[in-house]
Every structure is written in structure tokens, then in C-alpha cells.
Structure 1
Amino acid sequence: METQQLDSYMPESARDLEGWKLEPSAPSTCKRIRDSRVEIATQKTQNSHFFFSSRIEILFLMAAERYRPVSIEDLPSQLVIEILSSGKLSAIDLLHLELTSRTFGGSHGLYPHKFGSLVDYAAYQLCVSHSVYGKMERNAQRGLFDRCGGKWKRVLRFLQSVEQSSDMVETSAGNMQITTGRYHTLLISNSSLYSCGSSLCGVLGNGPETKQCVTFSRINFPSPAQVVQVSASHNHAAFVMQSGEVFTCGDNSSFCCGHKDTNRPIFRPRLVEALKGLPCKQVATGLNFTVFLTRKGHVYTCGANTHGQLGHGDTIDSPAPKMIELPEGIGYIVQIAAGPSYVLAVADNGVVYSFGSGSHFCLGHGEQHDEFQPRAIQTFKRKGIHVVRVSAGDEHAVALDSSGYVYTWGKGYCGCPELLRIDAIVQSKDNHWCCQNFHRCVLESGRPLFSVTTVQYMVVVGWGLAALDFQTGVSDKILSPRILDSLRAHHVSQISTGLYHTVVCH
């Protein structure tokens, strides 16, 4: 395949992503191409398969099971589009391909003239088939497209970043997710789970004999399983497996671990039996309760219910997960977040629902009343704001909308006032179009808001306690977004903040 150096060939359609700090070589792209086997069957070749290898070649399997290497240039454009639109490649992968090959970067007359290259068209197809984009109103889609400078690769980059915001992200050390509790940290690395810190009530998951781990120690499960998502609170944690099963460990005195047969600490991960047959996609842990989101978009809760945070219309505790009866027409829930005693839930139509403690205006209704059932935040609905992700802190909450704007509400003394759109984050250097990755806020005393920008700098707003890493006093406040200079040289992928510590993946 014909390739050229980046400095000698860069099609105009590929220049739109300058500033992403791409390296000239793209080993991670090649690895994904090598690892992701793309099988395409067409009407004319129903018994043929195509494999996309690290050398960007296609191995054509004939009916007689004889292999013949075929150059990418020999393939019809339709097949190239099928490969690029398979969903196996990221927006960065597409850009790497466009920058290094005339086949991907050139125009072949297959698609409307508004697309400058095969990659542009593939990015467009991936966007329109994306679950988040498909649920957006037309004006919201147009708003995102305009904010991205009319570039589909940028739109795709944003949509894929939203997916990673509460999930595993790709880092230099592999696929990871981090989450922090009060005095501990949990880490998923290549589907295995690790913990370190103080083991209050068995929250580290390594048995009653473990009181503290100063380095990461692997957590073993009853049977081999791949961990895909984790959530940690002060004294308990919950883990989602690739199968959809959920395990929990830690303090179960309030039955927040979902095991109604005991209120004693759970020192090793234990399967939540009540959720058998209900595969989950996400868990969120509050101070003494847990929220479960199933793959079908149903929400279950268990544990303490002092403020109605279980969402069942009462204040009765639940020792086992119980499904919330959502109002008619509420739609499919796609993401959840739990504060100390309140819950935020995002529906597929972009509406945000909240319930639980109304303290500090964290529910977003402009009043401090507790809500015992899910209630839509009307400010977003009235303004036609399509929310894609939320995060729940101790005394404030944050939302990311479909155009990349960040909104905060709650107690305002640390720079997080009620329903304020933070424009400064998206107007910072090299970052005029959207906030890339969106992550959770800190719980308890140290209350900063962290966000990762387009060029993967870390932006911070909040209160000192040395967690912000600025040269300020412990009580100093950062009331407007500022880039964390100490991490400016790193490509930050994910952030999580505990009571007295912050963990960053890059």
C-alpha cells in the first residue's frame, strides 16, 4: 500500500484534527486493526471473509479456502467503507489512516461531494449509527456538528469520549478504569481488578486479614471473570462483570451491598444473587446505598433510604436490590450517578432525573426538598438541553450536554453554583469546540471538579486541601477553570478523586 510521511502528505480533510497531539507513528492503531478481525459478507461473495491486518492488507478467503493477499487499493470502495465503519476503530485510528494513505485520504466518488475522503464518510456513518447521536433532536445534532467545526471526525471523537467517561479508557498501559473511595483506590487493568489503600470493612476485597495495601493488589473472584466497570464509596464497592453479573464487598450494615442474609462486612467480592438473570451495565455507590443499571435501562437500588434516595416513593430501607417504578414515558435510562444520598439518572432522550436528598440544591430543582421518586430537572428540558452524562459530588453536581458544554449546580462556595454553564472550559487554548472526556466529581471534603479537554489537559475548579495540585494554601479556592500545569505534558485519559487523594490515568 502506498504510504507517505505525514509532513509531505496531509489532505485538507484531515487537517481539522490538528491539536490532538498525534504521534507520527500509530502503533496502537495498528494493534487495534490487528486485533479486530472484520468479517464482511456481500451478496456476491457470501462465502468470503475479509481480514484487516496490521499491514493494512486484506486476506481474501475463497470458497476453496485458499488465501491470497490483496492490496487495499484493489478493493472496491464499498468494502473499504464497510471496514472503516465496522465500529472497531476510534476517531484517532481513522485520522491515522487518513494521514498515512491516499486510499483513505482521497476522494473516490463513492459518496456525496460534501465528504472529503473515505474516512470522512466512514466517520459520518459511525456518528449517525451511534446510540447517543441517534437519540438527539435534530437541532441538538446540528449544534454538535457546528461546535465541531463541521467535521465528522470531531463529532465521532466526542461521542466516543462520552462512552468512555464512565467506563474503561485506553491508556499507554492498556485499557483501564480508576475509581477512588474514602481512603482507597480501585483499578481495572485489562479486565483484572486491583486495590490499594485502607481496607475499612473489607472494601479492598482481599479478606479480613488485609488492613492496608500500600501497592496495588489483585482482587480474586470466586470464578474467573472479566471486570468491566467498578464504583467505590466510602466503605463499600461494586463491580460489573462482562457477563452482566454484579459483585460487591465492604460494609453491609445498611445492606448497601445487596446481601439481605447478613449485615456483617463482606471481605471478598460476593455475587449479588437478587440480580441473577438481570445483566447490568453500570453500578453507582452512594454513602450507604447502591444503584444498579441493567442493560435494558432499568434501575435497581438497595441500602439505606433516609432521604428517599432509593427512589421507591418512601423512606423504607431495602436489603436487596429493588426496581424503581419509573413514570410513564420516562424512557430508557443510559447512565446513573450517585452522591452521598441522592441519585442522578440520564434518559436516552437527554432528560436528567434526580431523587433523594435535596440538600445544597444538588437535585437541580431550585429547592432543598427531598424527592422520593425520580423527577425531571426542568431547566434542561425548558432550554432544550440534551444531557449525555452526569456526575454527582458531595455538595454539587455536574452535567455534560450533547454540544460539549459543562453545567454545574449545588452549593456554590467552591465555584460550583446552581445550573451554571462553564464556558471557560471549552474556550481554553486549542479547545474551542467541546469538552472531551467527562468524569466524576469528588465526594466529601475536597470538592474539586475535574474535566479532560480536547487536547487532554486537565482542567480543575474547586476547593484546595492540596488535592488540586496548585501552589496554594490548603483552604484556597479555585473559582474558575484552570489547567493543571503539572500534567500539561501528559495525555490525561481519566480522573478520580477520593477524600484526600486524586488519581490520574494517562
Structure 2
Amino acid sequence: MGDRLRPVSIEELPSHLILEILSCGRLSAVDLVCLELTSKTFGGSHGLYYPLKFRSLVDFAAFQLCTSHLIYSKMGLNSQREIYDRCGGNWKRVLRFLQSVEQSSEMVETSSGNMQITTGKYHTFLISNSSVYSCGSGLCGVLGHGPETTQCVAFTQIDFPPLARVVHVSASYNHAAFVMQSGEVFTCGDNSSSCCGHRDTSRPVFRPRLVEALNGVHCKQVAAGLNFTVFLTRQGRVYTCGTNTHGQLGHGDTQDRPTPKIVEVLDGVGSVVQIAAGPSYVLAVMENGDVYSFGSGANLCLGHGEQHNEFQPRVIQTFRRKGIHVVRVSAGDEHAVALDSNGFIYTWGKGYCGALGHGDEIDKTTPEILTTLKSHLAVQVCARKRKTFVLVESGTVYGFGSMGFGSLGFLDRRISDKVLRPRVLDTLKAHHVSQISTGLYHTIVITNRGQIFGFGDNERAQLGHDSLRGCLEPTEIFIKDEEADDELIM
């Protein structure tokens, strides 16, 4: 009996069992590094538990996690080799890149829990451990706190049904959309254009309401445009509703849709992995790395070399011809940005104020690689009103474009200045940034420790501070402490 209960050392476990422990679940690259540094078994070089071509058991486990990752598994062999080389032949670094890219448009894991930040025109939304908070202008009920709330001067929690866990939010203009862990979608705000997906357009939706037209459809992401909404399901299918003046709903016409309707062209092409909505256009990233665009071509944001509207999704040929596997896109007001599977950045559209980062203000009709950042491994791109941010693997942020209201965060530049090339945001160098989002004239970041910093315009309290009108230097933001009589932690 005593023998049955004796302690068993890790070395005595079958190698396949150890590997299964390491490569199942959601271990991060950082977790694997910690194991390698603190355990002789995981960090050894004897090759007892793994093929000799790998540096360690943890390295082998990281390789296994990479091969099963959705992004890596859909990359071509050349792209797989290139990202491995760019990561210095380190599988843990490849895994960290893949996981960072995945989280950039979803929830980021911080030491304070899972978080996501989303900035709108004059407001900001934060998901923190499945609860949602909003601040700023409450025009048309976009903040979700009811008809009596026209402005929130601090992050305030939004009421959702009991047990509802929010996993994604988008709120660019005057409406907001929330995805639940169940796959259900709730919306609130101005529904005069049917962008909230509810047939009643006579008054704003002041509190989050279930989009009943999507009953039985399980979503994972939403993207809010100016007067329309895009929904991405777990199966990679896309639905749209709202205004369709420029063909931004992707149905081959300009007819508005009061409730979500599937985009059939994309459904016939393959599985979509990410969506982004500009004011009147949409970008959709496919599982195979292609990018499709549709809607308004007025600002060259569709990437086809012309300014025609596209009423149906059309593939951006520049990426396809060059064999570029795009993994994420960001749709700005007048320009667009893409990130490929090797951490390279591409920009196109209007070059106002240097928003494309090429050292000038020249428009780009098709995607062009950002050469100044080729030596860096980018993990997130973020575009909005004439400005762009790029987050690189080290947690450093680069910004370029218009300084409008200080929303680029450079203290040595005037608010009317232009930054024509990518430049390190020195004011955040003391922090490892995990996610960034920028609105019309304000910007918010989340660090790997779960801290929230904001800078730029705060005229409508969109930075979550009551006393500041503007904020040139990144300043920490706090949320209401629900257990301390709703007082603000300052």
C-alpha cells in the first residue's frame, strides 16, 4: 500500500505524458520559459524526452503548440520558415508572437486578469475579467448605462444579465456591440440606421439588448462602423446590418439591412478569422491569409488601386500575388494597416499627416511595406483618424501621423505637428504594452501588468479622468471600486 502512494518524480513520468501536459491547455510562451529556467528536466539538453534537433523539452513543446496554432498551421512552408528565422530559431519566441497576434484583436492576458480596450469617437470601453466598463460621451446611449446617462467621467460598469460574460466589444462611433462567452451578441446606442440589428429604429437603445435575429448563431467578434455593424461567427462566417450606401454590407447592392444578413461571397470563399470596419468599408482576413475588402473606395482604403466602391467582397491582389499571409488588419478613417505572418507592416490609403509612415504624405493606392519597421517583429496594428500605432513583440509602441490633441503621445511635439515616420513612444518605455487602441483624438493602452494608461483629448472624459481636459503624457486610469461605495480610486 505504501508503494502505491510513494511520491513520483517528474523524471519517472512517460515522456509522452510530460509533453501532453506541456502542450495542452493554454500555456503561454512565458510559462514555458519559466519552466525551462527552473526545472532541470524541462531545460536539460540530454534529448531523453524529445528529438535531438530541439534545444529542450520545452522547446519541443513550444514547437508542438505552434504547429497546432490556427495562424501557424495555415501558413505556407516558406512563411513558416521565415518566421522561425526571424525569431532566431527559437520556438518559444515564435509561440509568443503567435499568441500576441491572436490576443491583439481579442482579449489580452495580464497579471491582473484578461482585458480588452476599445476606443470610440468620444468614448472608451474596457473588458476586465468579463465585466464591461465605459466612460466618455453617452450620446444616443452608446455607453449602455440608460437614458439618464449622457456622460461618464470615470470607467463605470455596464449592467448585463446575470452570468453573462463578455469576451469582445466594439464601439467606434455612436453604437456598441458586445459578444458574450455564449456567442450571443448584445448592442446599444443609435439604431436609427438599424446598425444595432433591432427592427425598432424609432429610438436609441440605451441599454445592451440581445440581437434576437442572431439566435442560434454563435459569434466571436464584432466590428462597429459608422452606421453599420459586422459580425464574425465562430465558424468564420460574416453577417452585416445597417446602412449600405457604399456597399459596406457586402451584399452586392446598396440596400440597407435592418437585421444581420450573411455575406454570401465570403461564405463561398472560405473561413474568415478577423474583421475590421472603417467608417464605410470593411476588411476581412481569411484563414489562408488573403484579405477581402468592400464598401467605400473614396479614400483608397480598399487597396485595389482605385477609388471605386465595391458592393461585394473583393480580394486585395497585392497580398495574394506576393504570397503575403496577412494575419491582422486595422481599418482607419482614411487609411488601412495590415500585419503579416512574419511581423511585417503594410499601409495604404490617404497619406495625410504621415499616417502611412513612409516619411511623406503621399497616398498609397495599394498596400506598401513599412520598411523602417522591417527589423522589428510587430504583433498589433492600430489605425484611426490620420494616425497609426504599431506594437512590437518587446512591448514597445511606435506611433506616426497626426499629433491631434496629443493623441500620439510625443511630449516634444506640438499638438498640430505631424510625425511622418514610425517613432518610439518614449513615454511608455517603462512599461510592456500588451494592447493599444486609439479613438478620434485619444489613445488608451493596457500593459502586461493590467495597468491602463491614456493620453490625448479628454474633453468628454473619454480618458476616464474627471479633472483633466487634455493629457499629453500617458496617465494611469482607474475603474470604479464597486466594493468601496463606488468611490473612484485616484
TM-score (norm 2): 0.86
1:266-285 aligned at under 5 Å gives the runs: 266-285=205-224
Partner of 2:437, secondary structure, is strand
Residue 330 of structure 1: how far off its partner (Å): 1.5
1:138 aligns with 2:77: yes
The aligned counterpart of 2:407 is 467
1:91-127 residue CA offsets vs partner (Å, 9 max, x unmatched): 1110111111111101333332110100010011111
1:101-140 aligned at under 5 Å gives the runs: 101-107=39-45, 108-140=47-79
**Aligned equivalents of 2:268, 2:248: Cα separation in 1:** 21
1:22-101 aligned at under 5 Å gives the runs: 69-101=7-39
**Aligned equivalents of 1:212, 1:163: Cα separation in 2:** 33
1:184 aligns with 2:123: yes
**Aligned equivalents of 2:73, 2:21: Cα separation in 1:** 21
**Aligned equivalents of 1:482, 1:172: Cα separation in 2:** 28
Q: Which 10-residue stretch deviates more, 172-181 or 413-422?
A: 413-422
Q: Is the 8 A contact 1:299 1:323 kept in 2?
A: yes
1:237-386 aligned at under 5 Å gives the runs: 237-326=176-265, 330-386=269-325
Residue 73 of structure 1: how far off its partner (Å): 2.9
Residue 224 of structure 1: how far off its partner (Å): 2.6
1:160-215 residue CA offsets vs partner (Å, 9 max, x unmatched): 11110101102243210000111111000000001111100001101001111111
Counterpart code for 1:294: T
Q: Is the 8 A contact 1:341 1:356 kept in 2?
A: yes
Counterpart code for 1:220: D
The aligned counterpart of 1:21 is none
Q: Is the 8 A contact 2:141 2:188 kept in 1?
A: yes
Distance 1:70 1:344, change over 3 A: same
1:440 aligns with 2:373: no
**Aligned equivalents of 1:85, 1:99: Cα separation in 2:** 17
Aligned pair partner of 1:164 in 87, 98, 103: 103
Residue 329 of structure 1: how far off its partner (Å): 5.3
Residue 226 of structure 1: how far off its partner (Å): 0.4
1:220 aligns with 2:159: yes
The aligned counterpart of 1:404 is 343
**Aligned equivalents of 1:171, 1:200: Cα separation in 2:** 31
Higher RCO, Cα 8 Å, sep 6+ = 2
Q: Is the 8 A contact 1:254 1:263 kept in 2?
A: no
1:40-68 residue CA offsets vs partner (Å, 9 max, x unmatched): xxxxxxxxxxxxxxxxxxxxxx9xxx976
The aligned counterpart of 2:446 is 505
Aligned pair partner of 1:486 in 415, 424, 427: 427
Residue 227 of structure 1: how far off its partner (Å): 0.3
Q: Alignment RMSD, CA only?
A: 1.7
Partner of 2:58, secondary structure, is helix
Counterpart code for 1:460: G
**Aligned equivalents of 2:6, 2:251: Cα separation in 1:** 62
Partner of 1:119, secondary structure, is helix
**Aligned equivalents of 1:323, 1:124: Cα separation in 2:** 37
**Aligned equivalents of 1:392, 1:386: Cα separation in 2:** 18
**Aligned equivalents of 2:434, 2:224: Cα separation in 1:** 22
Q: Is the 8 A contact 1:425 1:459 kept in 2?
A: no
Q: Is the 8 A contact 1:448 1:463 kept in 2?
A: yes
The aligned counterpart of 2:451 is none
Partner of 1:361, secondary structure, is coil
Partner of 1:188, secondary structure, is strand
Counterpart code for 2:416: S
1:199 aligns with 2:138: yes
Counterpart code for 2:380: F
The aligned counterpart of 2:168 is 229
Residue 81 of structure 1: how far off its partner (Å): 0.8
Residue 361 of structure 1: how far off its partner (Å): 0.6
**Aligned equivalents of 2:215, 2:225: Cα separation in 1:** 22
**Aligned equivalents of 1:326, 1:278: Cα separation in 2:** 18
The aligned counterpart of 1:422 is 370
Counterpart code for 1:86: C
Residue 441 of structure 1: how far off its partner (Å): 1.4
Q: Is the 8 A contact 1:307 1:357 kept in 2?
A: yes
**Aligned equivalents of 2:294, 2:98: Cα separation in 1:** 27
Counterpart code for 1:354: S
Q: Which 10-residue stretch deviates more, 410-419 or 283-292?
A: 410-419
Q: Is the 8 A contact 1:425 1:453 kept in 2?
A: no
**Aligned equivalents of 1:136, 1:112: Cα separation in 2:** 23
Q: How high is the sequence identity, in percent, across the aligned residues?
A: 69
**Aligned equivalents of 1:295, 1:179: Cα separation in 2:** 21
**Aligned equivalents of 2:187, 2:6: Cα separation in 1:** 51
Residue 69 of structure 1: how far off its partner (Å): 4.8
Q: Is the 8 A contact 1:426 1:453 kept in 2?
A: no
Counterpart code for 1:493: S
**Aligned equivalents of 1:87, 1:68: Cα separation in 2:** 28
Distance 1:68 1:168, change over 3 A: farther
Distance 1:328 1:262, change over 3 A: closer
1:324-359 residue CA offsets vs partner (Å, 9 max, x unmatched): 111685111111000000000011010000000001
Distance 1:76 1:104, change over 3 A: same
Counterpart code for 2:153: V
* Structure 2 gaps, min length 5: 357-362, 448-490
Aligned pair partner of 1:148 in 77, 87, 90: 87
Partner of 1:493, secondary structure, is strand
**Aligned equivalents of 1:67, 1:202: Cα separation in 2:** 61
TM-score (norm 1): 0.83
Q: Is the 8 A contact 1:439 1:496 kept in 2?
A: no
